[in-house]
Amino acid sequence: MRPSRRLVAAVAAALLIAVTGCSEGGGRPGVPPTESGRPTSGAASPGAPAKGSAEVVRTLTTKLASPWGVATLPGGDLLVGSRDTGRIVRIAARDGRRTEVGSVPGVAAAGEGGLLGLAASPRFAEDRTLYAYFTTESDNRIARMLVNDRRPAGEQLTPPDTVLRDIPKGTVHNGGRIAFGPDGMLYAGTGEGGRRELAQDPASLGGKILRMTPDGEPAHGNPRADSVVYSSGHRNVQGLAWDADKRLWASEFGQNTWDELNLVEPGRNYGWPEAEGRAGRPGFTDPVEQWRTSDASPSGLAYAAGSLWMAGLRGERLWRVPLRGSRPAAAPRAFLAGNYGRLRTVVPTDDGGLWLTTSNTDGRGRPGPEDDRLLRLKVT
């Protein structure tokens, strides 16, 4: 981006913070405020029971610094990235022992940007490849690195190999969640960087859900053969998950009124900035569920025990949405409300539970002496 455009974008972002509402939870005054891959169309799996539960059974580790991305490795260990420092640590699932893997060079942390999503290659046991979504001085990008745990602690990452660049960045709304789908393709949720018009701009990667090969190329079956854009009209997507029937779901920050849970289908337009929440506008796809921004401000999303589980930042709670096919089986129910502060990332475990990170050291929370934490949950 040319310097003059960068200056304009910075001024626009500053104005946006001053006049608009929910980004990663509204914030406090003075704090800078986020195969084809198509769902199966056959018979749906049995619905989840209307009633369920979520219980913290273990605190695996504490005192994490601004945790954001979490990647599960074969065998159950976790890689956790720090948004603000760019460091990645390996946490043993058995005893919580921590080993520093290394730092991602080029991370420029500011506002809601920094080292964001992490995703391990589906063939990690063979190729040792880790993907990261992060903010640089000029853009948001996705890069891959090799992890060599035979090297000394802190020196186990190879230099990043960029697979996709030029995702718009901003002080706010950087998106950042990446995940491999059941089709083996890499998906990314992006934000519009505080420039709402980008969500409707087909030439921009901002305000979109992207689908690409592991090399960063447009995946076969995308709406356009020459584009990684899978869906558009998003404000700030930070949660991606697939249900038992391989349908893609995404959680999305609203502005002042409605946060969203969307069932994502290729080529659909989810409305931002022309629509927020259920608007019934021709040409736009309404969310399946919506929440007041004070109750959610959603980041991570996971599927377990027949339900979607959505982590809330400003809402400080974990939402359960039981599914029956492509619709909720019952009204969403909240767990852990206010017990652990802001909740950032939720990922499924191999045995049907969940890992959950808190997010109280991100500049908006009120961190306690044990923050931030990685929690183990039992869910039904």
Domain boundaries, the chain: 59-379
Number of Cα atoms under 13 Å in the Cβ half of residue 353: 13
The pLDDT value recorded for residue 14 is 40
Contact present, 193 and 139 (Cβ < 8 Å): no
User: What residue type is 102 in one-letter code?
Assistant: G
3-state DSSP assignment of residue 250: strand
CA atoms of 331 and 320, how far apart (whole Å): 9
CA distances from 136 to 15, 85, 140, 187, 260 (A): 21, 13, 6, 20, 28
Contact present, 355 and 70 (Cβ < 8 Å): yes
CA dihedral in degrees (314, 316, 318, 320; nearest 10)? -60
pLDDT tens readout for residues 223-256? 999 999 999 999 999 999 999 999 999 999 999 9
Chain centroid to Cα 281, Å, comes to 26
- DSSP readout, 314-331? TT-SEEEEEEETTEESS-
The pLDDT value recorded for residue 48 is 73
Burial (Cβ within 10 Å: 0-12, 13-18, ≥19) of residue 177: buried
The pLDDT value recorded for residue 217 is 98
Q: Can you count the helices (H) and strands (E) in the chain?
A: 2, 25
The pLDDT value recorded for residue 49 is 72
Helix, strand, coil % (nearest 5) of the chain? 5, 40, 55
Contact present, 93 and 351 (Cβ < 8 Å): no
- CA torsion sign, 144 to 195 to 82 to 256? negative
* Closest among 317, 318, 304 to 352, alpha carbons compared: 304
pLDDT tens readout for residues 295-341? 999 999 999 999 999 999 999 999 999 999 999 999 999 999 999 99
Contact present, 21 and 293 (Cβ < 8 Å): yes
Mean pLDDT of 188-217: 98
Mean pLDDT of 263-268: 98
pLDDT tens readout for residues 166-175? 999 999 999 9
CA atoms of 4 and 22, how far apart (whole Å): 28
3-state DSSP assignment of residue 19: helix
* Closest among 254, 249, 247 to 189, alpha carbons compared: 249
Q: Does domain 59-379 have CATH number 2.120.10.30?
A: yes
The pLDDT value recorded for residue 83 is 98
Structure tokens at 105: 């060079």
Q: Is the pLDDT of residue 133 over 80?
A: yes
Specify the DSSP class assigned to residue 216. Answer: S
Specify the DSSP class assigned to residue 113. Answer: B
* Closest among 202, 265, 271 to 235, alpha carbons compared: 271
How does residue 373 score in pLDDT terms, banded at 50, 70 and 90?
very high
3-state DSSP assignment of residue 50: coil
Mean pLDDT, the chain, whole residue set: 91
User: What residue type is 372 in one-letter code?
Assistant: D
CA atoms of 247 and 232, how far apart (whole Å): 17
Specify the DSSP class assigned to residue 10. Answer: H
Structure tokens at 75: 């065998």
Mean pLDDT of 79-108: 98
- Of residues 65 and 52, the one with the higher pLDDT is 65
3-state DSSP assignment of residue 165: strand
